[in-house]
Structure 1
Amino acid sequence: MTARALALAGTGDLRALPALHSLAEHGGLPYGRPEARVMAALPPAELAAVMRTRLRRDGDNYHGNTTALEVLALCGSDAALAVEDVAMRLETPYATGRGRRAGGSYPRRAAWAHWRVTGDPMLALDVCGAAVRSGTASHGLPFLADLGPLAAAHAAPVRRLMESPGAWTRTYAAHAYWRITGDPGPAIPVLLAQVDPAWDGGSALPVREAVRILGEIGAPAVSAAPLLRRILAQEERLGRPRAGVRILADQAYVRTLTEALEGIDGWGK
């Protein structure tokens, strides 16, 4: 059910909402940032209701709250009804990242949500910057990317992480470096190297995320356009998911490719 709900959510299909409500009630929502971005394609007010269910179900369970904080922050001011639910967690040791058991990505997500709610970046810069310096970089990079030029003090360590052995870390570092510095030059080759034409849809490689970021960069990423067009023209793009889900996943990937090309050179407009 999770894969089908995410595939529907990625297209903004409201039929995803009942399944997401059920997953929120029973602890089945995924924890990853890419999945949170997929869910954020749904109308923010309806999505905020799902995340409030999740927060209230899990109380102070920081593992259970990660997706909810992520999605609510992505919804921004449109998730105003959930502000109190987020604020209740900002005084916990997990939210500040300084508690004994604070670990994983939760502290970064909570600090980022704090910034999006209050407009004060200091906690997010402190917690996410520490993650980059400590070696748990993939947990801090996406949030530093969102902070953009406010995170200028962390540009040098972020650039070093573009040479990380981990594909996801390289992708997130390239995105963060571009967002922080405004310089897409070093980021584009790193992102383009992640776009594997033979990708089967598996989550081990950040192919779709790299495509999305190249589209976000826009015209400076024009060197990626021929490859993206070739992938889009393939009859079979994804071979990993089972048949019914594969169609929905492929449709979501087509949408990502199309939007990236529109961002790069206006293709399809």
Structure 2
Amino acid sequence: MADIRTLPEAVAELIHDGDAVAMEGFTHLIPFAAAHEVIRQGITDLTLIRMTPDVIYDQLIGAGLARKLVFSWGGNPGVGSLHRFRDAVENGWPRPLELDEHSHAGMANRYAAGASGLPFAVLRGYRGTDIPRRTDTLATVTCPFTGEELAAVAALNPDVTVIHAQQADREGNVQLWGLTGVQKEAALAARRALVTVEEIVDELRPRPGAIVLPGWAITAVAEVPGGAHPSYAAGYSVRDNDFYQAWDPISRDRERFTAWLRENITREGTQV
């Protein structure tokens, strides 16, 4: 059974300096509140894993907490580049950032292999790209049945996976619905899993297309209403498009970003 914790308690207990941390959520259910708590606690030297490292990782990278990024696409969705990410890669500010880049299919298969207890996954892909020359987590294998050469990607087993969901019950069982991306696979692949939820309920009611993660697969649950903002939680909130637009000029300038971080995240008693 998952433990019910406050967000500060859960982050302090589960995420440590030097950990490999996956924060997943596709379009909605992005665990911003948990990322902000990581920033407040100053947990550093992280390997950040995410299929689409958008604004949530721009903030963590800009705060100087990441030493490596494992990903398949990066950008401010619907707006443009991630300027804190670019500054780290191009200029080493606030610190150099190591990259391990894959395709979307490769990342999804890496999570699936990790969740299945397998050392790697096999897929068709990567042909004609220079990605194989840029990573040591991609190789080729020959099919023993057909002789076809296939791509093999190393399994992902994060130290911690963090996701946001709509509901959990008091036993720590979690239910999420809408666009669910790879949250299930990322949680099952991890050594520890933290889920922030919109609300804790007495009983989970079945919903078409919903995913239920059993409490035995989750380490801790924290009730954090609005914990996906500025993304959204289907059935609970809507996407804050104005924030994504506003982020572009904030993130372009180091001093403006640093001031935003101090005023909105790290200063005691503030929330975004």
TM-score after normalising by structure 2: 0.29
Indicate the structure whose relative CO is greater, using CA pairs within 8 Å and at least 6 residues apart: 2
Q: Which has the higher helix share?
A: 1
Q: Which has the higher strand share?
A: 2
